[in-house]
Amino acid sequence: MGVFNHAEFDNHEQVIFCRDENAGLSAIIALHDTTLGPAAGGCRMWPYPSINDALTDVLRLSRAMSYKNGLAGLSLGGGKSVIIGDPERDKNETLLKSFAGFVQKLGGQYYTAEDIGIGINDVKIFAETCHYIFGYSTDPSPFTARGCCEGIKAAVMHHLGRNDLQGLKAAVQGVGNVGKILCKNLHEAGTKLIVSDINPEAVAYAVDNFGADAVAPDEIYDQEVDIFSPCAMGGILNDDSIPRLRTSIIAGAANNQLEHPRHGRLLREKGILFAPDYVINAGGMLQASSDIFGNFDIDLIMKRITGIYDTSLEIFKLSEQKNRATHEIADELAKKRIADATGQQKVTP
């Protein structure tokens, strides 16, 4: 399948296929839209079954970054990259530096950072070869989790009419860097937790430290809870999982949770409030982008992250008023901000 007729191609400005046989590198960089500024988004390393699977992921992720950065009020466009391979087996310094070299050749059109399979130490290796790296001066995970918590609070207020999380039940799918901190935040707010992860050590940590109940990864969809919080891979809200859900709210940190836009409409029909992922998981980006612009201001960052509550609430209210899915409202708001910025002078990193 070609790029231009790919189902997820959305007039992306550039899609770059990167290959370095000597380094064992196969990667794709996608720049969706740079109206607001240079494209920015993390690099993911994953053992994709095929090139087409990797292309699907990077096209969707880069588009979501355009919308995330737009709604977050950042002068950044949307981009993303994927390295095809098993991070546990295939990742090494030579491969990482080779990928960073491809980013460097783009001359600042794209800034990259960590994502699934790529950690802060890997990003520091990128920085040895490339100037266009961000998100390694401070771990962005706590900021991402804080933003998600704001989105959850907004959803609970709108859908359940409550201004606290005390006594609610939440099922958290994935307790990695972000999911673990989100569990901590929810636990401290008085939420009862049910967790799942493919990593038994991560599950054990949540059980021991937050009093969580553990279930097998495939059983997380069947839990009767107030909040279902996906914090692992995308595409998990689909024809198979949605009929099994027993929740009022879906709000989590994972990117691209909807397998297809129609699944967002299906959730609305079922009376489940979906908090669009790129809206509520923007906290990490709000913090990490300080590396690009060199203006780290923790008070301003936290103010913007707290603002995720108001942005989410606005989307929920418009969804109800217009009788449309929340992700459709969020997409329109993001597209409007990008369109309004067309022709304006961009902020130079």
Residues 166 and 105 in one domain: no
Number of structural domains found in the chain: 2
Residues 125 and 145 in one domain: no
What pLDDT is attached to residue 252?
97
* In the chain, % of residues over pLDDT 70: 98
pLDDT in tens, 82-125: 999 999 999 999 999 999 999 999 999 999 999 999 999 999 99
199 in a domain, yes or no?
yes
User: What would the two tokens of residue 289 be?
Assistant: 């982008």
Please, which pLDDT band fits residue 348 given cuts at 50, 70 and 90? low
pLDDT in tens, 3-43: 999 989 999 999 999 999 999 999 999 999 999 999 999 99
Domain that holds residue 331: 141-336
Q: Quick one: 224 exposed, middle or buried, by C-beta within 10 A (0-12, 13-18, 19+)?
A: exposed
Residues 28 and 163 in one domain: no
Q: Which amino acid is at 169?
A: K
What pLDDT is attached to residue 42?
95
Q: Please give the positions annotated as active site.
A: 80
Name which of 158, 100, 123 is nearest 310 in CA terms: 158
308 in a domain, yes or no?
yes
Residues 90 and 180 in one domain: no
Q: What is the mean pLDDT of the chain?
A: 95
Which of 85, 108, 129 lies at the terminal end of a domain, its last residue?
129
What pLDDT is attached to residue 136?
85
342 in a domain, yes or no?
no
What pLDDT is attached to residue 347?
56
113 in a domain, yes or no?
yes
DSSP string, 286-340: HHHTHHHHT---HHHHHHHHHTHHHHHHHHHHHHHHHT--HHHHHHHHHHHHHHH
Q: Which CATH number characterizes residue 109's domain?
A: 3.40.50.10860
293 in a domain, yes or no?
yes
344 in a domain, yes or no?
no
Residues 149 and 287 in one domain: yes
Residues 239 and 331 in one domain: yes
